[in-house]
Amino acid sequence: MREPRVRECVSAGVREPASRGAALRARPPLRSALPHFRTHARSRAGAAKLALALLAALGAAACARAEAEPARELKVCADPNNLPFSNAKGEGFENRIAELVARDLGARVRYTWWAQRRGFFRNTLKAGTCDVVIGMPATLELAAATRPYYRSTYVFLTRRDRGLDLRSFDDPRLKTLRIGVQIVGDDGFNTPPVHALTRRGVVGNLRGYTVYGDYSRPNPPAAIVEAVADGEVDVAIVWGPLAGWFAKQAKAPLSIVPVRPQIDPPFLPFVFDISMGTRRGDTLTTRLNDIIVRRRGEIERILDDYGVPRAEGRRR
Amino acid sequence: MVHLMRYARAQTGRSFYSRPECCRVPPPRSRSQANGVEGSTLLRLVDSVHPTPSGSFAGRARPLARLTAAALLVLLAACDGGAKENRSQGTAPRTGGVGTPAPGSVSDTTEDGQWTMPAKNYASTRYSRLTQITAQNVAGLKLAFTFSTGVNRGHEAAPLVVNNTMYIVTPFPNLLYALDLTKPGAPMKWKYDPHPASAAQGVACCDVVNRGAAYADGKIVYNTLDGHTVAVDAETGREVWKARVADYNRGESFTMAPLVVKNHVLVGNSGGEFGVRGWVTALDLATGRLAWRAYSTGPDSEVLIGPGFRAQYPQYQGKDLGVTSWPPDAWKIGGGTMWGWISYDPELNLIYHGTANPGPWNAEQRPGDNLWTAGIFARDPDTGQARWFYQWSPHDLWDYDGINEQVLVDLPIGGQTRKVLLRAERDGYVYVLDRTNGQVLSADPFIDVTSTLGIDLKTGRPRENVAKHPELGKVMRDICPAAPGAKDWQPTAWSPRTGLLYIPHQNLCMDFEGVEASYIAGTPYVGANVKMYAGHGGNRGAFTAWDPIHGRIAWEIKEFFPVWSGSVATAGDVVFYGTMDGWFKAVDARNGRLLWQFKCGSGIIGQPITYRGPDGKQYVAVLAGIGGWAGAIVAGDLDPRDSTAALGFVNAVKDLPQATTKGGMLYVFSL
């Protein structure tokens, strides 16, 4: 909030063209802005900036009061039916992280709901109806990524009472066990475990569970975890956050073991850094980076609450 | 970098050429040889009529002379510019003794001046016998009226004209407009809004296009993106029935144009990448109730394969191949959707429809032919029971959906008139199939093909080019045609006067490479990095006139962008099509000479039609409005820097946003 825009009061709550960035419209938050100003005030230029900013901020605040519309919002693009990530009731860990970020910014969360499928970024972030996607791989080219705030991994998910103790894609038992995998797309497109198993000649004993599932049911991607608990498959190879959360609620105790290797040479990763996503050139990215660093402890606690398995290695 | 160089070439690749003299036999195309397809179909047919132990032609061997004579006759007929319609009908002779042919049958010669289904007739020729607009006078074509649809996505539909009313279906939200052609400027009579669920745009597969409606029994019938078929009273715009047929919550969407055969509305689903299991369904025209459903995968009982099924090739013989040609259970989410075209032969009482590619597994995880995907079925329209099947792409690797249109014509082949079906297929070949039994008579490339080495007519299978098979972590270059195929959904037209099939198509190759992280429903996955670019010659599209008897190109117009519009041919020897940068063109059916063009407000991916207005004048109509897979970069505001967007198509049309902008608009022309 170094350049509060007085004129924004007139457009409070009204969507502006997305390209200029700034998820936060309308009244600038004095509370969260002040720590910034303090650090800047160490220099003369900073002091001047502070004075200007305060003036502008006060003006804006007065203006906003006149409108009686404290419409400072963090506009989040999210899937309304996709636990443990997000849902419309706010029960996912990405909902919780969105709340945390909004609190830090002195804003409240406003969601644009859209199923997280092909066209998700196009119809939400890029269409300008919202300004941040809470979780996406750091390497995704569709949006500008913040610094990663967690790293998870695909895991072997088995019933504990089976005592399978699978740890590696090279385990010969994988040739005969019934294996559940998450599938998406076709041709060259699929989840990394599908490719890893194919390379090892593990073909024909896989059972596919589409990531899309049946969207009319709650949490469509959960079917694969239920299949392990029900004994429909011996083992499922599942993206960590999904496995961790649904395993907590499964009818039988489940065991979660990160897959090995982390990267199948030459380049097939099972471990992904997860970032928030914004539009390219949006100044919001910088502020989110700052929050990710300052609020690391709180973010970690939220991830723990949801049983998100974290992978070893430093987040890049 | 190869593709960048090609791309640069494509920038300067705008050119036009055609054969000035009608019907001069062009030299065999050397590219066929490069592809391992030796010589022309003519030669191949000659080869195959020599008695061979296993050749199915053996029993009907005819001397070469007779074949050549027949072919010459057709050519002569085609050369005679002023030929009476009957004579130039050489390719579609009368079939005696069957009474009055049903409207749209192959031998039908009536012309009511209407346009009641997107393909014009059951044979799907998109040929009108109207003669007011001719190659001689088309240069005087003028804009008669326009109509804005108010929708900004890709307009792929064909307008319908019935009882002096024009009907237009828009992309999502799938509005239906009725325009009164009896009044000046064709004002709106009524508008019908089916209120499709908005969530279908996000939850369902693919784009939000719609390929049009069909008229029958006083009703306009069409599909909505959210999985409903609706029947609307053509007079009043009142909804007669609305049937939920597909489930968008399972990834199914609904974009194809229905075909009405007798009392059945025939429809099919989209969404193979979403783990959807493909089907074609018949609904009762009066009530919308489900009459039968035939799946493209699974046990015979669900594919509707019974005692009436005749396997033309051994690979289609056996029980429950829709299960056994897959790994266990993979067929349950195996794709094979049916979002393309259906044709109907009333005399044989058979419908023909394609099936899309298998999914959602990557190819290595679905060893087997993956029946009955990427092929074509002939079915009994009353019961849905399959009669025969042919598979274009066994174990498809390239997303070659086999859903293109089938044009039903009778052609002199091998010395006799054969009831055939023409398919300009995604894999780059024009197939000529015997439509009575599914035997492939010829398959010749109409574009450079590297993904396969030709089609083996004996086995009915493509000869594989193993060097181009995709492998994770390895870059495969120069795969031609690219994933949308040499031709996608955009329908061809056939003129019985010229004996030519007019093919609007793209000329794209692709690189298929590496590993790229992507993300759906919170789950990271590995995406193939697909980049498409102009194929050989540097032009990204072409409008090609194809001679199916000789299996070769008669003439070809190179286009700068992929040609994603449909086409229409008329008895005035004019063929119409549109370009993605908005030019609506009339060309000479005999030589491809450009006779007239008009620049529309947005790129054209719609299907042109022609009709006789209440004033007795001939009109030509087309919907402009860029979008679809090819035009997603404009309609979906995709980032031209993201070369893999729209599954790689964006790379091939990076410059489209400079050439056109969004906007759905009807254009109608007359002399």
Say what the pLDDT of residue B646 is. Answer: 76
Cross-chain residue pair B517–A272, CB shorter than 8 Å: yes
Segments forming the whole domain that contains residue A253: 152-271
Of all residues in chain A, the one with the smallest CA distance to B529 is A188
**A139 and A280 share one domain:** yes
- Candidate from B249, B525, B639 with C-beta closest to A190: B525
The structure tokens listed for A285 are 């990215």
Q: Are B520 and A117 in contact (CB < 8 Å)?
A: yes
* pLDDT of B21: 29
Asked if residue A223 belongs to a domain, the reply is yes
Q: Are residues A231 and A290 in the same domain?
A: no
Is residue A50 predicted with pLDDT exceeding 80?
no
Q: Is the pLDDT of residue B322 over 70?
A: yes
CB atoms near residue A312 (< 10 Å)? 9
Co-location of A104 and A128 in the same domain: yes
Q: What is the pLDDT of residues A210-265, one digit of tens each?
A: 988 889 988 888 999 999 999 999 999 999 999 999 999 888 999 999 999 999 98
> Is B465 one of the annotated active-site residues of the chain?
no
Task: Please tell me the distance in Å from A115's CA to the nearest CA on chain B.
Answer: 6
pLDDT tens-digit readout, A255-308: 999 999 999 987 889 999 999 999 999 999 999 999 999 999 999 999 999 999
pLDDT at position B106 over 80: no
**Contact at CB, A189 and B639, closer than 8 angstroms:** no
Please give, rounded to a whole number of angstroms, the shortest distance from the CA of B320 to a CA of chain A: 18
| C-alpha span between B119 and B232 (Å, rounded) | 20
Contact (CB<8Å) B398/A114: no
Which domain covers residue B60, as residue numbers?
1-156+408-671
DSSP E strand boundaries for B341-466: 342-345, 350-354, 375-379, 386-391, 407-413, 416-424, 429-434, 439-445, 452-456, 461-464
Contacting residues for A242 by C-beta, under 8 A, at least 6 apart: A84, A221, A222, A224, A225, B522, B523
Task: Output A166-172 pairs: Cβ under 8 A, ≥24 positions apart.
Answer: A166/A235, A166/A257, A167/A257, A167/A259, A167/A260, A168/A259, A168/A260, A168/A261, A169/A193, A169/A196, A169/A197, A169/A200, A169/A259, A169/A260, A169/A261, A169/A264, A170/A200, A170/A260
Establish if A312 belongs to a structural domain: no
- Residues on chain A touching B472 (C-beta within 8 angstroms): 188, 195, 198-199, 268
Residues in B closer than 8 angstroms to A82, CB to CB, are: 521-522
Q: Do A92 and A63 share a structural domain? A: no
In B106-237, which ranges are E strands?
127-128, 142-148, 160-162, 165-169, 176-180, 188-192, 214-216, 219-223, 228-233
Cβ <8 Å between A189 and B526? yes
Contact (CB<8Å) B362/A142: no
Chain B neighbors of A191, CB-CB under 8 A? 523-526
Whether B629 contacts B646, CB under 8 Å: yes
Would B618 be classed as within a structural domain?
yes
Query: Do A169 and A226 reside in the same domain of the chain?
Result: yes
Instruction: Judge whether A44 lies within some domain.
Output: yes
Across the range B564-575, mean pLDDT stands at 98
Pairing, β A132-137 against β A73-78 = parallel
- A185 within domain boundaries: yes
Given A51, A67, A83, the domain boundary residue is A67
B38 part of the active site:
no
- Least confident piece of the model among B34-38, B122-126, B444-448: B34-38
Mean pLDDT calculated for residue range A78-82: 95
**pLDDT value at B272 more than 60:** yes
Q: Among A82, A189, A220, whose Cβ lies nearest the Cβ of B527? A: A189
B199 confidence band (pLDDT: 50, 70, 90): confident
Average pLDDT over residues B231-235: 98
Residue A252 within a domain: yes
Confidence band for A52, pLDDT divided at 50, 70 and 90: low
Tell me how far CA of residue B508 lies from CA of A271, B8, B536, B553, B652, in angstroms.
Answer: 35, 14, 8, 18, 8
In a domain, B351, yes or no: no
Of A16, A36, A67, the residue at which a domain comes to its end is A67
Question: Model pTM?
Answer: 0.82
Higher pLDDT, B632 or B37: B632
**Does some domain include residue B335?**
no
Tokens of B213: 């409606």
Residue A27 has pLDDT above 70, yes or no: no
Q: Among A309-313, B95-99, B446-450, B552-556, whose mean pLDDT is lowest? A: B95-99
**Residue B532, H or E segment:** strand B523-534
Subunit contact B251:A198, Cβ cutoff 8 A: no
CATH of the domain at B37: 2.140.10.10
The CA distance from B397 to the nearest CA of chain A, in Å, is 6
B340 pLDDT more than 60: yes
How many A-B residue pairs are in contact by the CB < 8 A criterion? Answer: 192
Q: Is residue B637 part of a domain?
A: yes
User: Which tokens hold the place of A191?
Assistant: 């989840």
Question: Is a pLDDT exceeding 90 seen at residue B273?
Answer: no
**Cβ distance of B273 and A210 shorter than 8 Å:** no
Substitution target from B472, B515, B642 for chain A, most A beta carbons within 10 A? B472
On the question of pLDDT at A11 being above 90, the answer is: no
Do A225 and A279 lie in one domain? The reply is no
Residue A310 Cα distances to A154, A225, B525, angstroms: 10, 18, 18
Give, in degrees to the nearest 5, the angle at Cα B549 between B25 and B410. 140
A171 and A207, same domain (yes or no): yes
Mean pLDDT value across residues B40-69: 34
pLDDT class of A14 with cuts at 50, 70, 90:
very low
With cut-offs at 50, 70 and 90, classify the pLDDT of residue B176.
very high
pLDDT at B269 over 70: yes
Query: What is the reported pLDDT for B643?
Result: 72
Q: Are A166 and A241 within one domain?
A: yes
How does DSSP assign B42-110, residue by residue? HHHHHHHHS--SS-TTGGG---HHHHHHHHHHHHHHHH-TT--TTGGGGGS---TTS-SPPTT-TT---
Q: Quick check: B484 contacting A, CB < 8 Å?
A: no
pLDDT of residue A48 exceeding 80? no
Catalytic residue among B35, B152, B357, B651: B357
Write the residue in A79, A126, A272 that is nearest to B521 by C-beta. Answer: A79
- Is A192 in Cβ contact with B202 (below 8 Å)? no
Q: What backbone phi and psi angles, to 5 degrees, belong to B238?
A: -80, 140
Same structural domain, A181 and A248: yes
At residue B666 the predicted structure's pLDDT band, cuts being 50, 70 and 90, is: very high
CB B500 within 8 A of CB B519: no
Element (H, E) at B295: strand B290-295
> Residue type for B626, please?
I
Distance from CA of A265 to the nearest CA of B (A): 9
Q: How far is B595 from chain A (nearest CA, A)?
A: 40
Distance of alpha carbon B183 from the chain centroid: 34
pLDDT level of residue B208 (50, 70, 90 thresholds):
confident
In whole angstroms, give the CA distance from residue B248 to residue B271. Answer: 9
Residues 6+ apart with CB under 8 A from B322: B295, B296, B297, B298, B299, B300, B302, B303, B305, B331, B371, B372
Tokens encoding A142: 């569709």
A131, part of any domain:
yes
Q: Which helix (H) or strand (E) holds A87?
A: strand A86-87
Count how many domains chain A has: 3
Same domain, A195 and A225: yes
Q: Is B199 an 8 Å CB contact of chain A?
A: yes
Mean residue pLDDT of chain B comes to 85
pLDDT at B201: 85
Q: How many CA atoms lie within 13 A of B163 on its CB side?
A: 12
Q: What is the mean pLDDT of residues B609-636?
A: 92
- Among B323, B471, B519, most A C-beta atoms within 10 A, so best to mutate, is B519
Residues 539-568 of B with CB under 8 A from A: none
Residues A139, A157 within the same domain: no
The values of phi and psi at residue A97, to 5°, are -70, -35
Q: Write the pLDDT tens digit of every residue in B130-173.
A: 999 999 999 999 999 999 999 999 999 999 999 999 999 999 99
Q: Which residues of chain A lie closer than 8 angstroms to B251, CB-CB?
A: 210, 212, 215
Please indicate whether residue B399 is annotated as part of the active site.
yes
Q: Which of B565, B429, B602, B317 is nearest to B36 (CA)?
A: B429
Q: For A163-234, list the strands marked E by DSSP.
A: 179-183, 206-210
Q: What is the pLDDT of residue A226?
A: 93
Pull the structure tokens for residue A162: 């089976």
Segment among B73-87, B139-153, B536-550 with least mean pLDDT: B73-87
Q: Is B397's Cβ below 8 Å from some Cβ in A? A: yes
* CATH number, residue A187: 3.40.190.10
Which residue in the list B226, B369, B396, B399 is annotated as catalytic?
Answer: B399
Reported as a pLDDT band with limits 50, 70 and 90, residue B514 is: low
Among the listed residues B273, B300, B380, B382, the single catalytic one is: B273
**Residue B336: inside a domain, yes or no?**
no
Q: Which residue has the higher pLDDT, A224 or A24?
A: A224
* C-alpha B349, offset from chain centre: 21
**Does residue A94 sit within a domain?**
yes
Tell me how many domains chain B contains: 1
pLDDT at residue B384 greater than cutoff 80: yes
- Give me the phi and psi of B2, to 5 degrees please: -55, -45
Tell if the CB–CB gap between A215 and B250 is shorter than 8 Å. Answer: yes
Confidence of residue B334 (pLDDT cuts 50, 70, 90): very high
Residue B482 near residue B508, CB atoms below 8 Å: yes
Higher pLDDT, B42 or B631: B631
A231 and A169, same domain (yes or no):
yes
Q: Is residue B298 part of a domain?
A: no
Of A184, A197, A216, the CB nearest to B520: A184
Residue at B237 is within a domain = no
pLDDT grade, residue B206 (50/70/90)?
low
Q: What is the ipTM of this complex?
A: 0.77
pLDDT of residue B359: 86
Q: Report the gap between the CA of A39 and the closest CA in chain B (Å).
A: 38
Beta strands in A19-80 (DSSP E): 73-78
What are the DSSP calls for B430-462, one per residue?
EEEEETTTTEEEEEEESS---SEEEEETTTTEE
| Predicted local confidence at residue B154, as pLDDT | 94
Given a cut of 50, is residue A9 above it in pLDDT?
no
Can you read off the two tokens belonging to residue B595? Answer: 């006779």
Res B68 pLDDT > 80: no
Q: Which residues pair with B87 in a beta bridge?
A: none
Q: At what angle do helices A284-294 and A296-305 cross, to 10 degrees?
A: 80
B475 in contact with chain A, both atoms CB, cutoff 8 A: no
| Cα gap A266→B416, rounded to integer Å | 58
Q: Distance of alpha carbon B60 from its chain centroid, rounded?
A: 32
Within a domain: A316 = no
The pLDDT > 90 percentage for chain B reads 70
